[in-house]
Structure 1
Amino acid sequence: MAAFAELPEQAAAELESRLHDIFELGQMMAVTADESDLAEQVVATALDKRGGMNLVRVTARAPAHRTAVIDALWAALFPGRWHGARPRILSEAERDIDAELDRRTRPVLLVGDAQQLRGGGWQCLYGTWRAAADRYRPLPLIWTGTTRLTTVLQRPALDSIDNRIYLRYRIEPAHGQRRPAR
């Protein structure tokens, strides 16, 4: 809660409004800040405050390749041992992850430290988002990270993801104030 309280009231209201747009449209959003955890904390707090969402929170840790991302999604969606171990074949795990997201009411995928993702990790998360859209189950996907995330998204290999980001939001470090990202 403390991270969200750092935002001025006007900036907090603007972020809430933009998050609402993302939920209604099932689109992608990028939120950046100078501090590594600030963007993720602020968004998670705003989502908690909003309520009615089924938050699936995944934090990328180096090396954040496809297997690591699937492991993180599996842990977020199937906590504990009640669902069993993750299938060894990654495509089977992805199928189970997609099915679980379809079962959930209003899921929202929040990816923290997204600037640490590797190519396979980016493609895995984008594929999950795209598969949900293809099944007419829009899945809001929020990438959070440091300001380096903007630079990472400009790589030619990530052009398709960068072009699909509907909204960008930049949190200023000094007073938690925001300025346009582009």
Structure 2
Amino acid sequence: MNVLVVFDHPRQKSLSGAVLDQFMLGLEESGNTPEIADLHAERFDPRMPVEDEPDLSGGTKTYTEAVQREQARVERNDAVAFIFPVWWWSVPAMTKGWIDRVWNADWAYGNKKLTLDRALLVGLAATGSASFKKRGYTTAMETQLVVGVMNFCGITNARLELLHDTLEGDDERQALLVKARTLGRTFAD
């Protein structure tokens, strides 16, 4: 399976970058072919210019070259994974802007939907799962990202996986890296 891995962190040499590396290794170990979209390294512009505003009239709008390149990248893959730090109980602005610009009307939703087989959102959360559960953050994120974005755009096999306690010691970080590799290895199961 060809898998587009969308990575959003300003520093490749971070825990998020290490999770990306392990996830990619797991994908490769199970025979998948990953393609990385490193939004910061590639200097993707998450702002919505007028030329890329959704056309909800049902027409056949032509989007900018930058968006068309990203759409071609999505189309040559069978599935998508996102790796990102959880900021304000959601994806960072760069990921949100990428989805807003690239997954546009009558390409990802509306008259045409995405044909991706599956999606996995891997969020790195500083706090523990008990804190997320107590405040309903996990459910809120699943509703927003899995139902509101992935399912809305036609990806019915989608889920959110949160890696908690990212600010803990080396043992906890090592366990998160093992989990990231396992997520990659079992992605297509």
Shorter-chain TM-score: what band?
A: 0.3 to 0.5
Larger radius of gyration: 2
- Which one scores higher on RCO, CA 8 angstroms, separation ≥ 6? 1
Q: TM-score, normalised by structure 2?
A: 0.41
